Amino acid sequence: MTSSDPSVQLDHTPGHIKHDGHNLTGFVIFLCSESIIFLAFFAGFSLFKLTSPEWLPAGVDGLEVKMPLINTIVLVSSSFVAYFAERYLHKGNLWGFRIVWFITMLMGAYFVYGQYVEWSSLKFGLDSGVFGGTFYLLTGFHGLHVITGIGLMGLMLFHSFRPGNYEKGDMGVTSVSLFWHFVDVIWIILFFLIYVWQRY
Amino acid sequence: MTSTNFDPRILKAPHPVPGAPDNWKRFFSINTDAKVIGIQYIATSLLFLLVGGLLAMIVRGELITPEADLVDPTVYNGLYTMHGTVMLFLFLFPVLNGLNNLLIPTMIGAPDMAFPKLNAAAFWLVPVFAVLLMASFFVPGGPAQAGWWSYPPVSIQNPLGHFFNGQQLWLLAVALSGISSIFGAINFVTTIIRMRAPGMGFFKMPLYCWTAWGAQTIQLIGLPALTGGAIMLLFDLSFGTSFFKPEGGGDPVLYQHFFWFYSHPAVYVMVLPVFGIFSEVFTCYSRKPLFGYKFVALASFGIVFLSLIVWAHHMFYTGTPNWMRILFMFTTMTIAVPTGVKVFAWVATLWRGKLRLTTPMLFCLGGLVNFIFAGITGVMLGTVPIDIHVGNTYFVVAHFHYVIFNAIVLGVFAAVYHWFPKFTGHMYYEGLGKLHFALTFIGCTLNWLPLHWAGLLGMPRRVASYDPEFAIWNVIASVGAFLLGVAAIPFILNMVSSWARGPKAPPNPWGAIGLEWLLPSPPPAENFEDDVPTVLNNPYGYGLDQPQVADEAFYVRRAQEA
């Protein structure tokens, strides 16, 4: 591409393209759409749970709740921590933002670790009937979102070290924070469906 | 008024970039300009229209005689599966996204889409999944054979045991197509919500934008459900889960719910923009304001809402309980109301209009007639007793193609002709266009009208051989299909030669109203740049003393002098 041809300039006029408001609108639309995949999985899970003739595979008598509960508490509180990080950013306290934001990332990482420990102690696999399938599908798909969220937060942290970057606006921190709350809410529903519902 | 016509703003008016000698090269590069991406989409998808059409002609060649003699029945299964998949995911969705890219920013006065890079990413996913899908012809066992709906248990068989098989590639391609569509949908909806010209409230927006908005809303709501189902199917096929396998506690009918929750509304994703095209074309070529603008606009979202609660009418004969059948029959019937509002509005618009039978107008008139017919058979099919009788026969095939080809594709052709001068800067040849219309209209009628009869008589679909009593209908249908193949020749000839050496197009060759017609042909890279007109009225003020924008004369002159 040659710069002499004005039609191929990649970023036309910056003012038209870099618009935080558009980014947030687009991101909210994306999250609404993404939640439908989870809704589809939740609906599938509930249907299987209600109608499947043999729900638990042989040799398995339910899921342990303590470890996932600790995980839940960590993830839910990390949402509040993320909110404080955002507050620091809006007040212009960059180091406060960086530290608290990093703590959020650590809490997310702890959740993923806890998930890993739980998975490795389970006696059933992906192919253990519809119970195993839905369990790994739901927790795995959610886990992917958590990992994506940590990655996005890392990206925001990296951006914060580029001089003057956050002066024009928050450049995506609001969106990532929204994503993190979304992942959190999905987990709460998931926790009730998979772990709490099994007792009833 | 003084004698001088000089307006200093014209000096700093944008100069149209297109026209440089090697300008065509940008269509083969990764470009973020919506107008380039739009043409990339349309050209790619028209190429796949030929591929899908070729597959269809082999299918019709096979069906010209009752015996399965031209191709092996297994190959036949692969052929119709790939025909459907190519036509939907590689022709119709991309071509409509291409039109969205060209029309939405220019119609609402935006410089580009809201996220140009995301837009380019969405387009470049198309060749990627196209290659994946085409590659499935060359893997052991051939392409997917389970039909475009891919119902389990047929779709989770893997008789040869290869990890990479046609069905798996099919699922990956469909998943990537879904990601591309979601990227597109986020972009289009954000652009429409946030980037309209000053003064353009929602009720001053062109109807194409209304319908595209509705259609993309369906994509955002429905597509994730299909993606969820496709992920589960992929796991069943390749990783040993049993979501849809009864022997592991799964439920094959659940897949059908996921599939149709998206794939019924998907038809509205395709037909809604065509409703928009009808509204633009009918008003322009009959020189009359659109009848009931607000009702037509709101009916789009009526259709969006209803389309999401009708899916089980595809499942009347797959063990759906009776209360559900009645419920879904009722909701299906209701769709006829907003659709009917639109049809009446178009007919009332045409009524006593000063009709100009140009190529786009002919395509739209043909499409409207076919759509009304398809709507009637659609109401028939939504009725439980009739559906149980004719479901899975050629009646369904005929109805579906009446909607998809005879209405939607005709509308797409109309759009291609109508906006061809605007975005290429050249006029097309009217004679070739009319020849294309005549061949297409005769071809599609011959092809699908007789198949209604074959279906009512009980000819089952998706089989390579059939009872000789249906032979006559199939011969006529095949002749029609080959005629459609012939119709591609004047079309390609017209597009290529007009773009290369057609007469230069003025900014507004049709005397149409709309922001896009206030731009030079072809529009410059940033459309109106900083000088976006202030919108006063909706773009259907034909024959009324009602300018669409403030200071219209300035924009008209600027476009002419650019």
Residue of B185, B235, B249 lying closest to A129 (CB–CB): B249
pLDDT for position A15: 40
Q: Which of A130, A136, A144 to mutate to test the interface with B (most CBs of B within 10 A)?
A: A130
For residue A6, pLDDT over 50 is answered with no
Answer yes or no: are the C-beta atoms of B225 and A36 closer than 8 Å: yes
Tell me the C-alpha distance between A130 and B204, whole Å. 51
Residue of A11, A13, A130 lying closest to B242 (CB–CB): A130
Instruction: Please give the model's pTM, rounded to 2 decimal places.
Output: 0.92
Across all residues in chain B, what is the average pLDDT?
92
Tell me the C-alpha distance between B2 and B211, whole Å. 44
Third-level CATH fold of A8-199: Four Helix Bundle (Hemerythrin (Met), subunit A) (1.20.120)
Cα–Cα–Cα angle for B425, B427, B430, rounded to 5 degrees: 160
For residue A1, pLDDT over 60 is answered with no
Alpha-carbon Rg of chain B, whole angstroms?
A: 24
Residue of A23, A55, A137 lying closest to B232 (CB–CB): A137
Q: Where residue A54 falls among pLDDT bands split at 50, 70, 90? A: confident
pLDDT for position B29: 86
**Sign of torsion, CA B95 B229 A178 B304?**
positive
Q: Where residue B25 falls among pLDDT bands split at 50, 70, 90? A: confident
- Nearest partner of B38 among B90, B99, B88, judged by Cα: B99
DSSP collapsed to 3 states, B99-167: HHHHHHHHHHCCCCCCCHHHHHHHHHHHHHHHHHHHHCCCCCCCECCCCCCCCCCHHHCCCCCCCCCHH
For residue B1, pLDDT over 50 is answered with no
Q: Residue B549, SS3?
A: strand
Amino acid identity of residue B398, one-letter, is: A
Taking the CA of residue A154 as centre, how many other CA atoms within 13 Å lie in the half-sphere pointing to its CB? 9
pLDDT for position B353: 93
- Token couple for B204: 């001053």
Answer yes or no: are the C-beta atoms of B128 and B190 closer than 8 Å: no
Tell me the C-alpha distance between B431 and B181, whole Å. 36
For residue B13, pLDDT over 80 is answered with no
- Nearest partner of B157 among B143, B146, B171, judged by Cα: B146
For residue B437, pLDDT over 50 is answered with yes
pLDDT for position A16: 43
Nearest CA in chain B to A36: B224
Tell me the C-alpha distance between B399 and B377, whole Å. 6
- Nearest partner of A72 among A146, A132, A135, A137, judged by Cα: A146
Instruction: Say if residue B522 is preceded by a cis peptide, omega within 30 of 0.
Output: yes
For residue B59, pLDDT over 60 is answered with yes
CA dist B22 → B182, B445, B523 (Å): 33, 42, 17
For residue A11, pLDDT over 60 is answered with no
The fraction of chain B above a pLDDT of 90, given in percent, is 85
Average pLDDT over residues B415-421: 97
**Sign of torsion, CA B47 B51 B56 B61?**
positive
Tell me the C-alpha distance between B103 and B533, whole Å. 16
B212 reaches A (C-beta below 8 A):
no
pLDDT for position B177: 95
Interface touch A133/B111, C-beta < 8 Å: no
pLDDT for position B6: 54
- Token couple for B476: 């006529």
Residues 29-88 of B with CB under 8 A from A: 29, 31-33, 36
Tell me the C-alpha distance between B410 and B415, whole Å. 9
Between residues B444 and A169, which one has the greater pLDDT?
Answer: B444
pLDDT for position A4: 36
Tell me the C-alpha distance between B125 and B131, whole Å. 10
Task: Name chain A contacts of B261, Cβ cutoff 8 Å.
Answer: 40
Amino acid identity of residue B282, one-letter, is: F
Nearest CA in chain B to A42: B228
φ/ψ of B311, rounded to 5, equals -60, -30
pLDDT for position A20: 60
pLDDT for position A56: 87
What region, left, alpha or beta, does residue B173 occupy, with left being phi > 0 and alpha being psi -120 to 50 degrees? alpha
Residue of A8, A37, A129 lying closest to B224 (CB–CB): A37
pLDDT for position B7: 56
Interface touch A8/B239, C-beta < 8 Å: no
Strand partners, B535: B549
Q: Where residue A166 falls among pLDDT bands split at 50, 70, 90? A: low
pLDDT for position B435: 98
Taking the CA of residue B539 as centre, how many other CA atoms within 13 Å lie in the half-sphere pointing to its CB? 31
CA dist B126 → B26, B29, B115, B177, B217 (Å): 18, 14, 18, 7, 20
- Taking only the tens place, the pLDDT of each residue in A61-85 is 888 899 999 999 999 999 999 999 9
Residue reference for tokens 């028939």: B380
Cα-to-chain-centroid distance, residue B128? 20
For residue A30, pLDDT over 80 is answered with yes
The fraction of chain A above a pLDDT of 70, given in percent, is 86
- Taking only the tens place, the pLDDT of each residue in A180-194 is 999 999 999 999 999
Q: Residue B289, SS3?
A: coil
Residue reference for tokens 């606006």: A169
Amino acid identity of residue B532, one-letter, is: V
Average pLDDT over residues B177-206: 95
Q: Where residue B386 falls among pLDDT bands split at 50, 70, 90? A: very high
Q: What is the ipTM of this complex?
A: 0.89
Q: Residue B393, SS3?
A: strand
Amino acid identity of residue B528, one-letter, is: F
- Nearest partner of B457 among B447, B471, B445, judged by Cα: B471
The fraction of chain A above a pLDDT of 90, given in percent, is 64
The fraction of chain B above a pLDDT of 70, given in percent, is 96
Tell me the C-alpha distance between A47 and B256, whole Å. 14
- Nearest partner of B82 among B166, B175, B164, judged by Cα: B166
Taking the CA of residue B339 as centre, how many other CA atoms within 13 Å lie in the half-sphere pointing to its CB? 24
pLDDT for position A169: 61
- Taking only the tens place, the pLDDT of each residue in A82-91 is 999 999 988 8
Domains, chain B, with CATH or none: 28-561 (1.20.210.10)
A131 reaches B (C-beta below 8 A):
yes
- Taking only the tens place, the pLDDT of each residue in B36-51 is 999 999 999 999 999 9
- Taking only the tens place, the pLDDT of each residue in A82-129 is 999 999 988 888 899 999 999 999 999 999 999 999 999 998 988 888
Other beta carbons less than 10 A from residue B2's beta carbon: 5
- Token couple for B79: 């052929």
Nearest CA in chain B to A53: B249
Answer yes or no: are the C-beta atoms of B344 and B299 closer than 8 Å: no
Cα-to-chain-centroid distance, residue B161? 36
Task: Name chain A contacts of B241, Cβ cutoff 8 Å.
Answer: 126-127, 130, 132-133, 137
Interface touch B241/A16, C-beta < 8 Å: no
Tell me the C-alpha distance between B524 and B295, whole Å. 34
